[in-house]
Amino acid sequence: MINIHNEKNELIDILKILKEGRKKLLEDFLNRDPLIFIPIFKYENSPTAMNIAIENYFISWINYHFHIWKKYINSKTSKEIFLKTMDAFFCKYFGEAKKNKFPNPEFISDLIEKKRRLLQKLLDAEDKDTFNFNTLIMEYEKDKALFQRQISKLKKERM
Amino acid sequence: MPRRNNTTTGGLNMNDLMNEISELFSDVEMDSNVKRALIKSISLKLENAVSLATLQEKLKVLYEYEKNYLELIKEYKEEIKFAAALQEDLRKERTKFFSEALKEVSQTLKEAQVDSKVASVWIKELVDSYTKSLDLSSGLIEEHTLDMIGEIRQEAKKEAQAIRVKNDQHT
């Protein structure tokens, strides 16, 4: 009974994080969050920029889980389960085969933040019209590939 | 002659017992037909008694096992209820999301005069992300439930072994 009882508390912690994440997702839409509503109008006629903006928002939403985890998690086991869960989340998002756990939450959060900054840079470039359309697509695809590469590399290092 | 029977009790074979009785009667002087009928009658009575005792023993073991299993389930009752309640909460949340929340989001986008094609792309992403998070939560609860079932099974196995050992010692 001891094992199950401990796991129960850890399970509740992780479920709370995921639930808070879902709550935030709905609130952002219902409260007209600028990260959603600005690009919705700004890139209405630019599907590529719109895709980048969508990815930008949902990447930042995934990262939100890394910002709130400390509020709920106290034990080492909970932290491990949290990382395992986020790993599964990434697999669902990026189709990466589930190989191993991520390192610490701060590290992966930095990685996501870096990707977000890249996406934002691409959107800024679109706004300033300094890039032409094809360059923007190329940069977008390159960014996606680089991020995927970083994730794969990280997982291989942990194997 | 008694029927062939391999029933044992207290380590004694039924056939051996009948042979012993026949041997005892071999020195008794009486009509052979009456002797046969008498041995057969003793044999039948003994066989019934022995079968009943064996059955009672088996039932006792089964009863002990079931009793312990029920006690085990009772012990895990709160855990089982907890896992079921979590899954129920998730089911309710999923239903509420599709029946109410999604409509509210759609209404918000409509009121903000968002282009319908753009709105549908964002709503699709919202549904995907929300359900992924729900599926992940559900998977975690399932994993927890499976761990719990594994633990119950293991404990039941241990209890069954203990009952068997206790019963063997008794007989």
CA dihedral A128, A132, A135, A139 (to 10 degrees): 20
Q: Quote ipTM for the complex.
A: 0.77
- The answer to whether residue A19 neighbours chain B at the CB level (below 8 Å) is yes
- The answer to whether residue A40 neighbours chain B at the CB level (below 8 Å) is yes
The whole-angstrom separation of Cα B141 and Cα B81 is: 12
The number of CA neighbours under 13 Å toward the Cβ of B57 is 17
The whole-angstrom separation of Cα A96 and Cα A90 is: 7
Contact B86, B148 (CB under 8 A): no
The whole-angstrom separation of Cα A5 and Cα A10 is: 9
List chain A residues with CB under 8 Å of B137: 15, 18-19
Burial B118-151 (b: 16+ CB within 10 A, else e): bbeebbebbeebbbbbbebbbebbeebbeebeeb
Residue B7 has pLDDT above 60, yes or no: no
- The minimal CB distance from B115 to the residues A5, A7, A44 is found for A44
Would you kindly state where each structural domain of chain A is located, as residue ranges? Answer: 2-158
Q: What confidence category does residue A27 fall into, taking pLDDT thresholds of 50, 70 and 90?
A: very high
Q: How far is A51 from chain B (nearest CA, A)?
A: 9
- Interface A-B, measured as beta-carbon pairs within 8 A, has a size of 87
| Tokens, residue B80 | 């089982």
Q: Identify the three-state secondary structure at position B130.
A: helix
Per mean pLDDT, which range of A69-78, A129-138, B115-124 is the poorest?
A129-138
Residue B109 has pLDDT above 60, yes or no: yes
pLDDT at B4: 45
Residue A45 has pLDDT above 80, yes or no: yes
Query: Any residues with CB less than 8 A from the CB of B35 and at least 6 apart, and which?
Result: B25, B28
pLDDT at B91: 96
DSSP letter for each residue of A28-93: HHHTT-HHHHHHHHHTTT-HHHHHHHHHHHHHHHHHHHHHHHHHH--SHHHHHHHHHHHHHHHHHH
- Gyration radius of chain A over CA positions: 18
Sign of the CA dihedral running A138, A144, A149, A154: positive
Fill in the amino acid letter for A108: I
Instruction: Give A2 or B123, the one with higher predicted confidence.
Output: B123
